[in-house]
Structures are given as structure tokens and as C-alpha cells.
Amino acid sequence: MLLLEEYKKSLWNPMVLFHCPKEVATQVSACPLVQIPKPENRPRAKFHPSIWGDQFITYTPEDEVTRACKEKQLEDLKEEVRRDLMAAAGNPSQVLNFIDAVQRLGVAYHFERERRIITTYL
């Protein structure tokens, strides 16, 4: 029962947890805390230099013209895939292989509408 009472007191008085004498209870810095090793005494890791160099450290974002050009190129590629998918509409085996390839590449969400249209006619 005595231990339970000491535990309850420690919940309300954080100085009990540090085992500080009552004379220095207001001076937290005078409490004996765990000694933290100084950084110069810590062991150093000897990592090999990165094979990438500082390529990712010196990254600069692209300007608006380059970004617009890449977005245009992306839209052109999407349109090309849409055209190829619609051209394969006459051959069910080719359509299914094409849809499978697009799904495996992880870009099928761009072509959901076309997939639904073609698969309704199969």
C-alpha cells in the first residue's frame, strides 16, 4: 500500500520521479539526470560515398516552360494510348492484352472510360 501511495505522489510531483532532494526541488538543473555522452566521444560511422554523388542534394525545380512541355508530352502519350486502344477494339484478344498491359504498368486509371466503352461491346 505504501508503494501505491508513493506512485500516486509521483504522478502529481515530477520532482519525485527525478529523486531530487526537497531543497533543490525548484532547481531542475541541479537534479542528477542521466549523463549524455558528448558527440565527440560517440563512435563515427564510416559510410562509403554515395554512387549518386550530390545529384539529389543540388536539385533545382524545373521552370514553367519545361513543366508545360512535359505536361504536353504526357497528354500526347495518353492520346496515343487511347487511339491504340480504340484501334484494337475489333480484336477481343488484342483488347484484353492491351488492357492487361496498361493495368500492369499502373496507368489504367487514365483510361477507365475507354476501357468501359470497349468492354461493353466485347
Asked whether residue 44 is assigned to any structural domain, the reply reads no
Owning domain of residue 20: 2-30
Asked whether residue 105 is assigned to any structural domain, the reply reads yes
Asked whether residue 23 is assigned to any structural domain, the reply reads yes
Asked whether residue 89 is assigned to any structural domain, the reply reads yes
Per-residue model confidence (pLDDT) at position 111: 92
3-state secondary structure at position 12:
helix
Name residues whose C-beta falls within 8 Å of residue 8's C-beta, 6 or more positions apart in sequence.
Answer: none
Asked whether residue 95 is assigned to any structural domain, the reply reads yes
Per-residue model confidence (pLDDT) at position 25: 47
pTM of the model: 0.49
Asked whether residue 24 is assigned to any structural domain, the reply reads yes
| Statement: residue 57 has pLDDT above 70 | yes
| Statement: residue 104 has pLDDT above 90 | yes
Residues of 21-30 as b/e, b for ≥16 C-beta within 10 angstroms? eeeeeeeeee
Q: Cell 491504340 belongs to which residue? A: 84
6 or 104, higher pLDDT:
104
| Statement: residue 2 has pLDDT above 60 | no
- Contact in structure between 10 and 16 (CB atoms under 8 Å): yes
